[in-house]
């Protein structure tokens, strides 16, 4: 190790560090309206660029700590060492590959001299990401600067000719939620524009005012929450129906309180808690959350060959409940979203991003699984059913219950797809039919399918249950065997055409 690293810093990452966002320069040749890096570009006490030797040493030490993915950014990273014809930038790319970084990418505004693309070290990049904020210059240029669209597109085309792996990143401003004369969302057109350029994928960043510091310096391009879900849903549907030929990474940004409560392990994604990334800045700041850019908050500082943990109130992790899945801590501070809660800016459902895949995050999504509640007043029977169901794929036991009241309350709270419940509980007159009626009353069409554990149930109850919820009154289970439960799950999948 080149740096003398604080034990607290090592303890925090504990082998989880996988990716670095290296802000190698606090300077830029554009002044985009929404830029989150505005304050760093606008004013520096001392350093504009990371010292080259420091950069190599940091890359080496973080590689040793487990990092394998590197993003070079800033400010504008293609200005790094510009006075020396970008030699320092090129050497940095080469060195990163030699150090064993498996995926090295650069995030650029695409305004650079095209000759850069011909440099052998530049060609070692695993991905070049170009930022454009609209499918037409009339949208992009007022945001990113006049003439910037044409220059960027020219370099994308050249990069394409040269065989680069190309990504486009676009900020979703209020203009992308407008529609063109044919009724198409500009957001949709942005994806089609990327497809037409023949690039590999497109990634979006969101722009909301969510009570974070950058609200005060990131311009007025933000999207009102009320307009967001319609547009997001429209694009998600198209993604799900495979209507786009390239992968689309789009932030969900919010979910409802109910959905969060049902599946906190999924919606509670937070890089501060997964401890998989670090942001390095020229002024010595080491951060985790990009929402803290432009603030004094960080986790540590590097200087004089030391990495010093921030023990003061400016340690950004102080805000977090590190052992709990919560909505996005930094955006949730002012809690003014009504029934919505903010999720991580990097929360992009079904994305193929490396860390998301490594963490198997999509597997946590309960919507992918058949969600089940088991209800019985006999703990032994409940355990037996749980053991059987745990052997079956694609299901998730989300709750268990002991009484009929407990059962319908949990059904209403968790809205499962399937319920396995005793019909006649001991010591109460409330039975399975009452559970059905109360659930139907509260959930209507979202009522789950019921399977009752009983030797028999009165014929008139069965007829009444069928009359109340139709086919969702599924069956009676007389014997708790693996084959019986497997059969029910398979029938359920067939009925609802679940693959």
Ligand X SMILES: C[S@@+](CC[C@H](N)C(=O)[O-])C[C@H]1O[C@@H](n2cnc3c(N)ncnc32)[C@H](O)[C@@H]1O
Residue given tokens 């933000």 in the structure block: 222
Its sign, for the CA torsion 37, 38, 44, 49, is: positive
Pick 93 or 345: Cβ nearer ligand SF4: 345
| Binding flag, residue 20, ligand SF4 (CB under 6 A) | no
276 binds, among ligand X, ligand SF4, none (CB under 5 to 8 A by kind): none
- Select the binding partner of residue 449 from ligand X, ligand SF4, none (C-beta < 5 to 8 A, by kind): none
Each as own residue / partner, the long-range contacts of residues 135-143 (CB below 8 Å, 24 or more positions apart, any chain) are 135/186, 135/189, 135/190, 135/192, 135/193, 136/189, 139/173, 139/175, 139/176, 139/186, 142/33, 143/32, 143/33, 143/34, 143/171, 143/173, 143/175, 143/221
Q: Of the two residues 269 and 423, which places its CB atom closer to ligand X in the complex?
A: 269
Check if the beta carbon of residue 452 is closer than 8 Å to that of residue 435. Answer: no
Residue 344 binding ligand SF4, by CB under 6 A: yes
Pairwise CA distance, residues 447 & 438, whole Å? 10
> Which region among 234-242, 304-312, 338-346, 390-398 touches ligand SF4 (by CB under 6 A)?
338-346
Q: Which is nearer to ligand X, 37 or 52 (CB)?
A: 37
Residue (99 or 355) nearer to ligand SF4, CB: 355
Q: Give the residues across from 131 on adjacent strands.
A: 169
Residue 289 binding ligand SF4, by CB under 6 A: yes
CA angle 495/498/499 to nearest 5° reads 130
Q: Are strands 69-74 and 248-249 parallel, antiparallel or unpaired?
A: unpaired
Q: Which does 40 bind (CB under 5 to 8 A by kind): ligand X, ligand SF4, none?
A: none
Smallest distance from ligand X to CB 6, Å: 28
Binding site for ligand X (CB under 6 A): 28, 34-37, 73-74, 76, 107-109, 131, 169, 171, 205, 207, 214, 218
3 state DSSP class of 332 = coil
- 206 binds ligand SF4, rule: CB under 6 A: no
Among residues 30, 99, 124, 354, the one that binds ligand SF4 under rule CB under 6 A: 30
Site membership for ligand SF4, residue 72 (CB under 6 A): no
Please state the closest distance from residue 76 (CB atom) to ligand X, in A. 4
Q: Which phi and psi (to 5°) does residue 379 adopt? A: -60, -35
Rounded CA-CA distance 329/223 in Å is 20
Q: How far is the CB of 289 from ligand SF4 (least distance, A)?
A: 3
Binding flag, residue 207, ligand SF4 (CB under 6 A): no
Interaction between residue 345 and ligand SF4 (CB under 6 A): yes
Residue 145 Cβ, how far from ligand SF4 at the closest point, in Å?
Answer: 8
- Given the complex with ligand X, which of 44 and 384 has the nearer CB atom? 44
Burial of 227 by CB count in 10 Å (0-12 exposed, 13-18 middle, 19+ buried)? exposed
* Shortest distance, position 235 Cβ to ligand SF4, whole Å: 21
Q: Residue 49 in 3-state DSSP?
A: strand
DSSP states along 50-113: --HHHHHHHHHHHHHTT--EEEEEES-GGGTTGGGTTHHHHHHHHHHHHTT-SEEEEEE-S-S-
Among 253, 330, 415, 451, which residue sits at the site for ligand SF4 (rule: CB under 6 A)? 330
Distance of CA 15 to the CA centre of its chain: 21
Nearer of residues 110 and 404 to ligand SF4, judged by Cβ: 110
Given a contact cutoff of 8 angstroms between Cβ atoms, the answer to whether 73 and 34 are in contact is: no
Asked if residue 272 binds ligand SF4 (CB under 6 A), the reply is yes
Binding residue for ligand SF4, selected from 4, 14, 31, 220, defined by CB under 6 A = 31
Place of tokens 């930038």: 89
For the bound state, the minimum distance from the C-beta of residue 211 to ligand X, rounded and expressed in Å, comes to: 14
- Work out whether 328 is an interface residue with ligand SF4 (CB under 6 A): yes
Question: Which residues are near ligand SF4 by CB under 6 A?
Answer: 28, 30-32, 35, 37, 74-76, 109, 270-272, 289, 291, 328-331, 344-346
């Amino acid at each position: 190790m080149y740096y003398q690293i604080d034990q607290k810093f090592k303890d925090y990452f504990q082998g989880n560090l996988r990716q670095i966002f290296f802000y190698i320069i606090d300077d830029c040749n554009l002044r985009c309206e929404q830029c989150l890096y505005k304050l760093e570009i606008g004013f520096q006490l001392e350093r504009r660029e990371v010292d080259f030797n420091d950069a190599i040493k940091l890359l080496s030490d973080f590689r040793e700590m487990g990092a394998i993915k590197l993003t070079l950014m800033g400010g504008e990273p293609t200005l790094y060492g510009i006075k020396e014809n970008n030699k320092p930038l090129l050497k940095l790319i080469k060195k990163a590959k030699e150090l064993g970084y498996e995926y090295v990418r650069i995030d650029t505004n695409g305004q650079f001299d095209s000759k850069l693309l011909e440099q052998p070290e530049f060609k070692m990049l695993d991905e070049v990401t170009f930022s454009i904020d609209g499918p037409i210059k009339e949208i992009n240029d007022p945001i990113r600067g006049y003439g910037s669209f044409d220059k960027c597109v020219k370099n994308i085309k050249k990069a394409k000719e040269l065989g680069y792996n190309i990504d486009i990143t676009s900020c979703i401003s209020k203009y992308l939620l407008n529609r063109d004369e044919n009724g198409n969302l500009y957001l949709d057109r942005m994806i089609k524009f990327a497809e037409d350029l023949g690039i590999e994928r497109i990634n979006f960043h969101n722009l909301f005012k969510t009570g974070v510091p950058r609200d005060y310096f990131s311009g007025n391009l933000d999207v009102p929450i009320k307009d967001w879900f319609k547009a997001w849903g429209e694009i998600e549907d198209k993604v799900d129906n495979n209507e786009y030929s390239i992968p689309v990474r789009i932030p969900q940004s919010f979910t409802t309180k109910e959905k969060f409560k049902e599946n906190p392990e999924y919606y509670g994604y937070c890089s501060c808690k997964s401890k998989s990334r670090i942001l390095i800045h020229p002024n010595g700041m080491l951060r985790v959350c990009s929402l803290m850019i432009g603030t004094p908050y960080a986790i540590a500082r590097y200087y004089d060959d030391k990495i010093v943990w921030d023990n003061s109130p400016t340690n950004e992790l102080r805000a977090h409940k590190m052992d709990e899945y919560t909505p996005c801590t930094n955006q949730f501070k002012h809690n003014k979203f009504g029934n919505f809660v903010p999720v991580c800016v990097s929360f992009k459902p079904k994305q193929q991003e490396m860390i998301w895949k490594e963490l198997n995050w999509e597997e946590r999504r309960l919507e992918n699984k058949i969600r089940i509640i088991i209800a019985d007043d006999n703990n032994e029977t409940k355990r037996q059913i749980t053991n059987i169901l745990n052997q079956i794929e694609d299901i998730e036991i989300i709750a268990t219950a002991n009484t009929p009241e407990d059962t319908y309350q949990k059904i209403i709270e968790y809205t499962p797809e399937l319920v396995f419940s005793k019909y006649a509980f001991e010591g109460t007159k409330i039975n399975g039919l009452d559970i059905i009626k109360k659930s139907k009353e509260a959930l209507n069409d979202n009522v789950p399918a019921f399977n009752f554990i009983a030797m028999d149930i009165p014929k008139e109850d069965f007829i009444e249950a069928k009359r109340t919820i139709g086919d969702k009154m599924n069956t009676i289970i007389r014997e708790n065997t693996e084959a019986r439960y497997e059969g029910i799950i398979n029938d359920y999948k067939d009925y609802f055409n679940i693959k």
